[in-house]
């Protein structure tokens, strides 16, 4: 059985990795499918996100990383998937994910949506939260893989906390001015 785990993964978090690893135990093959969304301005390009995921998952032999645009269900049909894998953190995730699952079922009755509850230690975690913490100078190396933390610190031109510092990081400019996450609509991520 083949499952597709779709998302923007901007950036991949330890919560995403939790779902990926558990999904790889349940399915013969899992494809992490990075969505190209023209309506969003991501922190990382699609190739950068694909590389971050690949560097985070070399221990998973039944995992593939790919990208797509358009409807997830169309990509799943094209790849002959039997399931869509989705992570659930909180009740509001369930409401939105259930609506999407029902909608996808009207588009393809052959593809099931499988929900995995995120492990307790990651139930608060989202890519948007990680970016906000980093944007304002907070430590994120306990929320994302170490190499991803370094990439994020470089994006915001911040010197990383000592636990994630490397010698090739040098701040070059002030971080971009943005609104706090609480005042913007957060992106739904596993």
Tell me the per-residue pLDDT of 17-53, one tens digit each, with 9 for 90 and over: 999 999 999 999 999 999 998 888 899 999 999 999 9
CA–centroid distance for 133 within its chain: 16
Per residue in 124-157, pLDDT (tens digit) is 999 999 999 999 999 999 999 999 999 999 998 7
Residues of CATH 3.40.50.620 domain(s) within the chain? 2-122
89 given a catalytic annotation? yes
Name the catalytic one among 49, 56, 127, 131.
Answer: 127
Helix (H) or strand (E) holding 14, with range, is helix 14-26
Token reading at 180: 């706090």
CATH superfamily for domain 2-122: HUPs (3.40.50.620)
25 included as an active-site residue: no
Q: Is 16 a catalytic residue?
A: yes
Cβ atoms 54, 17 nearer than 8 A: no
pTM, two decimal places: 0.81
Q: How many CB atoms lie within 10 A of CB 115?
A: 16
């Amino acid at each position: 059985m083949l499952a597709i785990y779709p998302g923007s993964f901007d950036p991949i978090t330890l919560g995403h990795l939790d779902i990926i690893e558990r999904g790889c135990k349940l399915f013969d093959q899992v494809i992490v499918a990075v969505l190209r969304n023209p309506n969003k301005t991501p922190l990382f390009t699609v190739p950068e996100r694909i590389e971050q995921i690949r560097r985070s998952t070399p221990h998973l032999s039944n995992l593939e990383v790919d990208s797509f645009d358009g409807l997830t269900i169309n990509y799943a049909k094209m790849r002959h998937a039997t399931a869509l894998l989705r992570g659930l953190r909180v009740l509001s995730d369930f409401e939105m994910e259930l609506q999407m699952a029902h909608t996808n079922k009207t588009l393809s009755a052959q593809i099931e949506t499988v929900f995995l509850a995120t492990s307790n230690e990651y139930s608060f975690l989202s890519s948007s939260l990680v970016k906000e913490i980093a944007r304002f100078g907070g430590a994120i190396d306990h929320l994302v893989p170490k190499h991803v933390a370094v990439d994020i610190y470089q994006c915001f031109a911040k010197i990383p906390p000592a636990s994630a510092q490397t010698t090739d990081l040098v701040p070059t400019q002030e971080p971009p001015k943005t609104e706090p996450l609480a005042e913007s609509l957060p992106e739904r991520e596993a």
